Amino acid sequence: MPHLVLLYTPDLEAEADVPGLCRALADCMLEQRDEAGKAVFPTGGTRVLAYPAAHCAVADGNGDYGFLYANLRMGGGRSPSVHKTVGDSLLQLLKQRLDPLLQQRPIGITLQIDESAQQVYDAKHSTLHPLFNRPV
């Protein structure tokens, strides 16, 4: 964890550089620092996944409407100021990267951050973390 999942109307697939957006969002997450200057997210655990909706209905259906929902799920223990800073940074990046489309037609963007306050089961198996946890 953290996992940032994007769910969007399929029309955005042809109009937005979704792979580039995913990379930019992951890089933004990796740049985040807490009040002590420590990285907020582990490199090997940072993931951005994007899915076009198989089916959708947006607003009244009478316009060329698009929508992107971004949900960041992270483990507990980070301060409210870190939540705000991370959220503001990710939303700013989403707006910046999607601005050409936002200028052309109505597109909604929602970003939510969920913190796992009480996990009842959390298992991991990864060959990614060892790549980034080597002594320098």
Query: Helix, strand, or coil here: 6?
Result: strand
Q: Residue 107: what pLDDT? A: 93
In the chain, where do the E strands start and end? 3-8, 47-52, 66-75, 107-116
Superfamily of domain 3-132: Macrophage Migration Inhibitory Factor (3.30.429.10)
pTM of the predicted model as reported, rounded to 2 decimal places: 0.88
* Residue 71 near residue 4, CB atoms below 8 Å: yes
In this prediction, residue 36 carries a pLDDT of 96
User: How far is Cα 20 from Cα 96, in angstroms, rounded to an integer?
Assistant: 13
Distance CA 24, CA 132 (A): 19
- Please list the ranges in the chain whose pLDDT falls under 50: none
